Structure 1
Amino acid sequence: MPKKSLANLTDLAGKKVVIRVDFNVPQDKDGTITNDRRIRGALPTIQYVLEKGGSAILISHLGRPTGDAEADKPFRMDRVATRLGELLGKPVQKSDEVVGPISAEKVAALKPGEVLLLENVRFHPDEQNKKHDGTFAKTLASYGDVYVNDAFGTCHRKDVSMLALPEAMKGKPRVVGFLVAKELDILANLLGTPKRPMVGLLGGGKVSDKIGFIKAMLARVDQVLVGGAMTYTFLKAQGIEIGSSRCEADKLDLARELLELGKGKIVLPVDHLIADKVAADATTEVSDGQVPAGKFGLDIGPKTIQLYSDIIAKAGTVVWNGPMGKFEDEPFAKGTKSIGEAMAANQNAVTVVGGGETAEAVEQFGLDSQMTHVSTGGGAFLEYVEGTPFAALDQIDDQ
């Protein structure tokens, strides 16, 4: 059943709108934001609420706090509030607690058109406590007249702010924001009647991390093009020499099972960019077919780039999850960048990037705006395609 979205709510004047956003942005060691894509992704939802005369109370987690106040300083939401204010062009208030007298006072004083960001929701001990007594959820629920889920990247979680909070707000409007609505629309098309041929691109480190996703893709796509470190587990399973390349030695039987399941669909690299060490200053060369002893496979080679690009050029739909190589280091970035460029060049295709590192890569190469959709959810994207039901979405009102 389709879910109600924020677009279904036009009477927001004077309403306090609690919005669960995903501001879990990448940071350096000092807590400086290195990529604000997730903050920018929430802007349409926040701006809509403000334009309709409502006020926005934002809830998000950031990082993985340990409970150590000193160690958790980089995870405070101050810098996020500052960056959001810059993007909105107006001040964003920030509460130094999640719930309590400070937050209650700020919520009560919030005026139409104003924005309040609560402290990192994971600083509260009940956010991820499966045995919570409901008090935390009820307190958060008391802050708002409307609940909006605009945190696709956390939709597969059962944290209080994703599940118990909207449960506690039953009877009040509960909708998805524009970001989540777009994600669900794109995914519905992918899982429904996508344009053919449909091509899946799979990269990243481990086969074991994406078993369900690989099987789901094999059931839907016409071809699966493999890259990244997972390549070498598949090659090793076929008895092909992989040198010192990363390999899940305990998953070779699984790789053989997937190769058999995907017979005629799975396409593996025909050449590799190899190096003498895993470092940006490594000496590189191209190797056909296999990787010599003592060498590391760190990117797809030029023949594979051409092969994959030709397949992408003829595709009607392309879904990509996982980089083709160690793109963070310039010598090993060409494969990932070239695949992104091939997708961008096929303007007749629906091109979807499945979040995580892949989203960071296409943005790094300036290709994100040329894709049909770049998901904000890595794990959530994978689980949705696998068919995992999201309890958080069950709490949203049906249309």
Structure 2
Amino acid sequence: MIVNLPVHDTTTQESPRSLLDRRISSGERWIFSAGFNVASGMRDTSRIDTEMADIARLSDAGARVAVLSHQGRHKDGSAQHLGEVAAYLSRHLGRNVVYVSENTTDSAVEHSHALAPGEVALFGNTRHHPGEEANDPVLAARFALLGDAVAIGGFSKAHREHASNAALLKYLPGWAAHSLLLEVERLSPWSGADPAVPSLAVLGGVKPEKTLIGLRSFSRAYDVVVPAGAVLNHVLNTLGHEVGDSELGEKPEHCAKATDEILNSAAARIHVPSQLVIARRSEGSFVDPREIHVNDGVPPGFTIVDFRLEPWLLELMREFRSNGCRAVLAGTPSLYLQGFRHASTQLLDWASAPGVEAILLGGDTVSELPFDGPTSTGGGSALCYLGEGDLPVLRALRENATMSWTEN
């Protein structure tokens, strides 16, 4: 039996204050909290491009703009300098964007004061500080010295309470960047629980957030969840099935513990395939494919590359399609690019049919799968918003709007 939860009505929540509604005066000092977490080499600049218009609006109105962003992680040493990002901003904004490698020193603060009206400076990577991801209020207070008001962008980190977005809003009046609100608006039809509309979520890929955020959220908010990729491997492991050398992603112990808790409390119906397609890795490809029953276990040296949809799921998908439903595909269901396409093709064909309002979620999913419908490159933030109907940064912005501020 499908269990429907009470609807999470996001329409009752007051929207955060929008930057578009804020009149900008020449000379005002603004911090723009961005999400320029792009890989070195700048092959995919979509996370920068979506925020360009907000920065340009501030600059065009004469604001002095101090941009803060993160890239990489502090704990693994992948936090890099952002000089190439500043160069990219300069080219595409059509104005010089100075790169200031520091962001909390007296020199950095002096530089922010020295900006002329309309000037933009990109300050150092916020993740050079261990307190960034810990939402350290002391670090946020130092960031706050770079401006007198803050625009919060960076949808990709909106699910995280970090010093440069959540804690920063304790010290400065804040507004939501238009890019942030646009992404929320795009995702809203699929967010939260809605007992009036049947819903199905596919969770694939290898990132731990698919399990820690996606599986937890959708198992509470949606009617059916179809695990795939590392999410499926954790589910099978938890149920006592051998998964051989199948991918478990980062944080395998953390994900395993979370999966056990989620399966014991899930309101959604979780699809567990009885028939698996397995193969051996060989020099970057897969060989010796074969189909096995899940109870036989995946032998050592083999990995799960595809699976068969259970008859009950196929029947339910037909029923959902006939009655009208919504669907989220977050992660490629099978190794599609390697030629293992059974589960992916069935789910894609269904998601593309009339009566199914579907969205593909995640950069890899969008680039790998042929789909003409709505898409979003949002990662953990999108998973969090879709499953819960809200985000930590949206809550922080709403709270910020209720506080008393004396703007300079």
**TM-score, normalised relative to structure 2:** 0.73
Q: Deviations over 1:292-314 (max 9, x none)?
A: 5345233224768x959966866
Amino acid at match of 2:46: R
Change (3 A) 1:45 1:298: farther
Q: Deviations over 1:332-374 (max 9, x none)?
A: 67468647854873576543445xxx3333135575xx45351
Q: 5+ residue gaps in structure 2?
A: 1-13, 404-408
Shift of 1:65: 3.5
Moved more, 272-281 or 385-394: 385-394
State whether residues 271 and 286 of structure 1, in contact with CA within 8 Å, keep that contact through their aligned partners in structure 2.
Answer: no
Distance 2:195 2:93 in 1: 35
State whether residues 273 and 286 of structure 1, in contact with CA within 8 Å, keep that contact through their aligned partners in structure 2.
Answer: yes
- The equivalent of 1:345 in structure 2 is 352
**Equivalent residues in 2 for 1:4-153 (5 A)?**
4-27=17-40, 32-65=41-74, 75-100=80-105, 102-124=107-129, 127=132, 134=138, 136-153=139-156
Distance 2:258 2:167 in 1: 37
Amino acid at match of 1:351: A
Q: Is 1:176 matched with 2:176?
A: yes
Amino acid at match of 1:216: S
- The equivalent of 1:191 in structure 2 is 192
Distance 2:222 2:145 in 1: 46
Amino acid at match of 2:218: M
Q: Deviations over 1:363-387 (max 9, x none)?
A: 35575xx453515341673377357
Shift of 1:15: 2.6
State whether residues 243 and 292 of structure 1, in contact with CA within 8 Å, keep that contact through their aligned partners in structure 2.
Answer: yes
Distance 1:353 1:298 in 2: 22
Shift of 1:241: 6.0
SS at 1:191 equivalent = coil
State whether residues 337 and 362 of structure 1, in contact with CA within 8 Å, keep that contact through their aligned partners in structure 2.
Answer: no
Change (3 A) 1:37 1:278: farther
Amino acid at match of 1:372: P
Moved more, 147-156 or 257-266: 257-266
Aligned match for 2:269, one of 259, 265, 271: 265
Q: Is 1:214 matched with 2:218?
A: no
Change (3 A) 1:96 1:352: same
- The equivalent of 1:296 in structure 2 is 302
- The equivalent of 1:397 in structure 2 is 401
Shift of 1:226: 1.9
SS at 1:319 equivalent = strand
- The equivalent of 2:376 in structure 1 is 374
Aligned match for 1:359, one of 363, 373, 383: 363
Change (3 A) 1:154 1:334: same
Moved more, 109-118 or 306-315: 306-315
SS at 1:108 equivalent = helix
User: Number of matched residues?
Assistant: 379
State whether residues 200 and 225 of structure 1, in contact with CA within 8 Å, keep that contact through their aligned partners in structure 2.
Answer: yes
State whether residues 202 and 226 of structure 2, in contact with CA within 8 Å, keep that contact through their aligned partners in structure 1.
Answer: yes
Q: Deviations over 1:205-241 (max 9, x none)?
A: 4899736643432333232122113324434555666
1 or 2 for the larger relative contact order (CA 8 Å, sep ≥6)? 2
Distance 2:51 2:317 in 1: 35
State whether residues 331 and 364 of structure 2, in contact with CA within 8 Å, keep that contact through their aligned partners in structure 1.
Answer: no
Amino acid at match of 1:266: I
SS at 2:286 equivalent = coil
Change (3 A) 1:90 1:259: same
- The equivalent of 1:159 in structure 2 is 162
Distance 2:346 2:29 in 1: 44
Change (3 A) 1:194 1:153: farther
Q: Deviations over 1:244-280 (max 9, x none)?
A: 4457799889867755755882223454342123652
Shift of 1:176: 0.9
- The equivalent of 2:230 in structure 1 is 229
State whether residues 228 and 323 of structure 1, in contact with CA within 8 Å, keep that contact through their aligned partners in structure 2.
Answer: yes
Shift of 1:281: 2.8
Change (3 A) 1:333 1:87: farther
Change (3 A) 1:129 1:202: closer
Aligned match for 2:387, one of 358, 366, 385: 385
Change (3 A) 1:241 1:99: closer
Shift of 1:127: 3.8
Change (3 A) 1:120 1:164: same
Change (3 A) 1:138 1:382: closer
Moved more, 293-302 or 249-258: 249-258
Amino acid at match of 2:328: V
- The equivalent of 2:286 in structure 1 is 282
State whether residues 286 and 301 of structure 1, in contact with CA within 8 Å, keep that contact through their aligned partners in structure 2.
Answer: no
Shift of 1:175: 0.8
State whether residues 352 and 373 of structure 2, in contact with CA within 8 Å, keep that contact through their aligned partners in structure 1.
Answer: no
Moved more, 219-228 or 254-263: 254-263
Distance 1:345 1:126 in 2: 44
- The equivalent of 1:324 in structure 2 is 333
Change (3 A) 1:185 1:94: same
Q: Deviations over 1:56-81 (max 9, x none)?
A: 321011112369xxx77x70010111
Distance 1:254 1:139 in 2: 35
Shift of 1:395: 4.6
State whether residues 194 and 317 of structure 1, in contact with CA within 8 Å, keep that contact through their aligned partners in structure 2.
Answer: no
SS at 1:75 equivalent = coil
Distance 1:231 1:256 in 2: 12
Amino acid at match of 1:96: S
Change (3 A) 1:151 1:236: closer
